[in-house]
Amino acid sequence: MTHMIKLMRLTFLVCLTAGFAFSQQQAPAASSTDKESAEQIDTTALAKETEQIDQRNGKMGIFFWVPTEFWEQSTVNAGGSRERAKQYFKPLRDYNVFLVGVGTIGLGGMDWTPDATLRKSIVLRDQAGDSFKPLETVSPEAQGFTDILKPTLKTILGPFGEGVQLLFFPIKDSTGKVFADPRHSSEFSLVVSDLMGAGTSTYTWRPPLTSMLPPKYCPLGKERVEANWKYCPWHGNKLDSEAKPAPAAK
Ligand SMILES: [Zn+2]
């Protein structure tokens, strides 16, 4: 089963990238300036940090928090210009976006939970404990993105693409503050009720994401540490909360 999950994960990434290559066919090739390379993100590393795959009770759930930078970089990887990608995906920056799919594993393949059931069974919970339902209506621009993405996923992946839904949640908490920022410290969860079997399953993310920040090092041992670590697990010392640029190579 682990193999199957790995395969699906790979397929999923390939699919996303291919999807954007398709939608960006007319885009000129990206130029590789210094500014460009500074913005480069390893999308595979990002997906590893933000995608959670759970398997239990004969079910498989995919819960993928997708920062807008993921779409942008995937497009750039597929040959699109960064400027155009930023413009194209800008409407998504008004939301917290997740790709979610829950399927029942059967002999003939996966039986996917319909969109409406997903929507009423999942909430996003912020650090303060407030819960947000998936938004029923989003801006026409964000909706337009969904309308492009869905058939693309379906064409390339068939039933798998059909089973994964794009869920939009608010970008701001009840105090008006942006939460779930991939570059800043926070904690948030998707709380999933009665989909992965009976009861509640919680999937938690704790940014900042290592893949989206400059490398961070322990000041004592100089070893590389994760962006969201507050203490070095080997030396026990407190780590800077914000990542610093890598020490200059000699
Ligand atoms: Zn250390």
Beta partners for 172? 178
| Lowest-confidence pick of 14-23, 78-87, 173-182 | 14-23
- How many angstroms does the Cα of residue 226 sit away from the middle of ligand 1? 11
Cβ atoms of 121 and 194 closer than 8 Å: yes
pLDDT of residue 29: 47
- How many angstroms does the Cα of residue 158 sit away from the middle of ligand 1? 47
- How many angstroms does the Cα of residue 235 sit away from the middle of ligand 1? 4
- How many angstroms does the Cα of residue 183 sit away from the middle of ligand 1? 22
Q: Output the CA torsion sign for 107, 164, 177, 123.
A: negative
Q: Is residue 248 assigned to a domain?
A: yes
Backbone φ, ψ for residue 248 (5° rounding): -60, 135
- How many angstroms does the Cα of residue 234 sit away from the middle of ligand 1? 5
**Model pTM score:** 0.83
Cα(221)–Cα(234) distance, rounded to whole angstroms?
Answer: 8
- Structure token digits, residue 175: 């105090």
Same-domain check for residues 74 and 137: yes
- How many angstroms does the Cα of residue 96 sit away from the middle of ligand 1? 33
Residue ranges with strand state E in the chain: 51-56, 59-65, 95-106, 109-112, 122-125, 131-132, 165-170, 188-193, 200-205, 216-217, 224-225
- How many angstroms does the Cα of residue 135 sit away from the middle of ligand 1? 43
Q: Which domain holds residue 219?
A: 213-250
Q: Is residue 74 assigned to a domain?
A: yes
Per the structure, how many domains does the chain have?
Answer: 2
Cα(37)–Cα(76) distance, rounded to whole angstroms?
Answer: 11
Looking at the predicted structure, is the pLDDT value of residue 236 above 60?
yes
Same-domain check for residues 232 and 205: no
**What share of residues in the chain are helix, strand, coil (percent, to 5)?**
35, 25, 40
Looking at the predicted structure, is the pLDDT value of residue 55 above 90?
yes
Question: Average pLDDT of 103-130?
Answer: 93
Q: Is residue 61 assigned to a domain?
A: yes
Q: Is residue 36 assigned to a domain?
A: no
- How many angstroms does the Cα of residue 225 sit away from the middle of ligand 1? 8
CA distances from 31 to 37, 76, 83, 90 (A): 10, 10, 10, 20
pLDDT of residue 205: 98
Cα(143)–Cα(125) distance, rounded to whole angstroms?
Answer: 23
Residues 60-81 as b or e (16 or more Cβ within 10 Å = b): bbbbbbbbbbbbbbbbbbbebb
pLDDT of residue 227: 95
Cβ atoms of 60 and 2 closer than 8 Å: no
- How many angstroms does the Cα of residue 209 sit away from the middle of ligand 1? 19
Question: How many CB atoms within 10 Å of residue 197?
Answer: 10
Same-domain check for residues 197 and 226: no
Task: Report residue 112's pLDDT band, with 50, 70 and 90 as the boundaries.
Answer: very high
Same-domain check for residues 236 and 166: no
- How many angstroms does the Cα of residue 241 sit away from the middle of ligand 1? 14
Same-domain check for residues 105 and 20: yes
Same-domain check for residues 217 and 161: no
- Structure token digits, residue 105: 């594993």
Same-domain check for residues 180 and 238: no
- How many angstroms does the Cα of residue 185 sit away from the middle of ligand 1? 20
- How many angstroms does the Cα of residue 205 sit away from the middle of ligand 1? 23
Q: Is residue 37 assigned to a domain?
A: no
Task: Report residue 30's pLDDT band, with 50, 70 and 90 as the boundaries.
Answer: very low
What average pLDDT does the chain have? 84
Looking at the predicted structure, is the pLDDT value of residue 147 above 70?
yes
Same-domain check for residues 241 and 183: no
Name residues with Cβ closer than 5 Å to ligand 1, which is an ion: 218, 220-221, 232, 234-235
Looking at the predicted structure, is the pLDDT value of residue 160 above 60?
yes
- How many angstroms does the Cα of residue 206 sit away from the middle of ligand 1? 21
Same-domain check for residues 107 and 14: yes
pLDDT of residue 24: 46
